[in-house]
Chain A
Amino acid sequence: MNLPVIEIRNLKSAYGDQLVLQEVNLQIPANEITAILGTSGCGKTTLLKHMIGLLKPLEGEIQILGKSILELDENELNDVLKKAGVLFQSGALLNSISLADNIAIPLEQHTNLSKDMIEFIIKQKLELVGLSHAYHYLPGELSGGMRKRAALARAIALDPVILFADEPGAGLDPVTAASLDQLLLSLKEKLGMTLVMVTHETASIKRIADRIIYLGKNRVLFSGTLREALESDIPALITFFNSDSSQKSKA
């Protein structure tokens, strides 16, 4: 296992009186794709939001790239977050500006690059996600899958060390989902990016994930490699991975 880029110790989280996560201890190694799985409402997205500093836990410690983010002030946290990209479930593109302008936001805010260079990087990123033709398009003019790919282009604009993705393949057709997986895989293999993704897509998990974290009953039920997860005798995991194959056999 590579050195961890994210470490979480004894995390406890709740929304009001409702406990969402407790005793969460996990490590996410560098240069690997870690998939966080679990049933709906088990706290996957909540865990992701804790990792990117959008939510504060009741208890516990979260270390990103060696820094305990709960102890950082806003500026220090922003410095850490500059090294992370986030692909939100809905894309979260700003609807009033073009795709190019959306991708330009982090480049203009966090670098001293000239307009020419920013334009080239925007072109690179759009080509990477197959949206070269949509440079001037508004997000509202794109399909759901295209919006998600555009959001990925924005998330990787600064070549983040860690890419967090909330349901990257949700709502995409199998072909687009597979090409998105290939893109994520190449980001990991060629650029050494660490990927943390919350997902339900078993096909995608089997294609690209190195490591699995399974949440259930408000805690981590399983943490290990994909192979270990596939061979696990934990009933929830067996059901999770078999649901895909049983659907296929029915079809």
Chain B
Amino acid sequence: MPHDHHDHLSPSGHPFRADNDHPLSYWQALEIAVRELLIEKGVTTAAEIAGQIDAMDNRTPANGAAVVALAWTDPDFRAALQHDASMATAEMGFDIGPMKLIAVENTAELHNIVVCTLCSCYPRNLLGLPPDWYKSRAYRSRTVREPRRVLAEFGVTLPEATHIRVHDSTADMRYIVIPARPKGTDGWSKKDLADLVTRDSMVGTGLPKSPDALV
């Protein structure tokens, strides 16, 4: 055998892949204890908890993309979204719950980008779980200080003349960016338009795909 450290090797001689090998943190142990007690006392069931996790995992940026595609094609909906985004999106079946939603529109002159400097507030009902970078201290602290450099690292370089507006999601509101509709998409169906809308374009760290991308 070429290796000496047998406890780090599987029976076939390969190193074990790193896993959750560290001991539980205080909060992890507390969560497990509370969860097990709630199940033991019949307050909830393991199936209900698994179902809730499943429902959270099933929310994807496709929800947000449907909102954007409708805003691009239906002027009445676009106006309703500007007026009260929580209500407009709830009518599409995307209820945001106790939170409130604001939709901010990108134009040729204005680019919006969303961050939560205090934690990781994110419109989960429309975009699913936030990506790890959205919760990182680097993204949270740099986006309010040097948004253009942050955008450049995402591959987005905007003209100096384009105004950048950073939305710090500090309290009860959640934000979705309505990117500018790509040129060359006249007459496209909502479904095809939605395929151009990326998660990052609704956070403001990206732009929609080019129409050529779908050909």
Do these two chains really belong together in a complex? no
Binding site for B on A (CB under 8 A): none
Binding site for A on B (CB under 8 A): none
